[in-house]
Amino acid sequence: MADTMQFDLVSPERSLASLQVSAVLIPGADGDMTAMPDHAPVITTLRPGVLRVETPSGTSEYVVSGGFAEINATSLSVLAEKAIPLTEVTRVHIDEMIEDARVAHDAAKEKFKNEPGPVDDAAKLLADMVALGDHINM
């Protein structure tokens, strides 16, 4: 078993990380999961949360608002809708993400009056954003 795997984290704005890691805790849509070297191939969607990256030299964390993760035995690629290093996150960032989710929820309620699925999805996203702010004490 290899000790590390290649990890790449990108958002539409920029590339945030490209390094060798020993483990990455991923806020998956169906629950948290940890990717490590020799992981079985998986593609998963992300929910808003904290992505924790463990390297031989330390740990770093990123706030993600959603996206996708592609895992295989030797690499992990995360394409995040929005990603910010946890050390750079401010209350303003969280408020903006919550407001964007609130607008999306209101739009879904207006557009899908008799279709609860999309409205429920938008409500969950809004709840996840609020929970994320609470989780990181903002």
pLDDT per residue, tens digit, the chain (138 aa), is 579 999 999 999 999 999 999 999 999 988 999 999 999 999 999 999 999 999 989 999 999 999 999 999 999 999 999 999 999 998 998 898 899 889 988 999 888 887 788 888 888 888 888 888 888 876
* Per-residue pLDDT, 127: 85
C-alpha 106 chain-centroid distance: 23
E strands along 39-81, which residues? 42-46, 49-55, 58-64, 67-71, 75-80
**How does pLDDT run across 97-126, given as a tens digit for each residue?**
899 889 988 999 888 887 788 888 888 888
Distance CA 116, CA 122 (A): 10
Give the domain ranges of the chain.
Answer: 5-86, 90-135
CATH number for the domain whose boundaries are 5-86: 2.60.15.10
The amino acid occupying position 55 is T
The model's pTM is 0.85
Pairwise CA distance, residues 109 & 31, whole Å: 26
Helix axes 116-135, 91-111, angle to 10 degrees: 170
Distance CA 42, CA 92 (A): 34
Going by C-alpha positions, the residue among 79, 81, 57, 75 that lies closest to residue 132 is 81
pLDDT attached to residue 63: 94
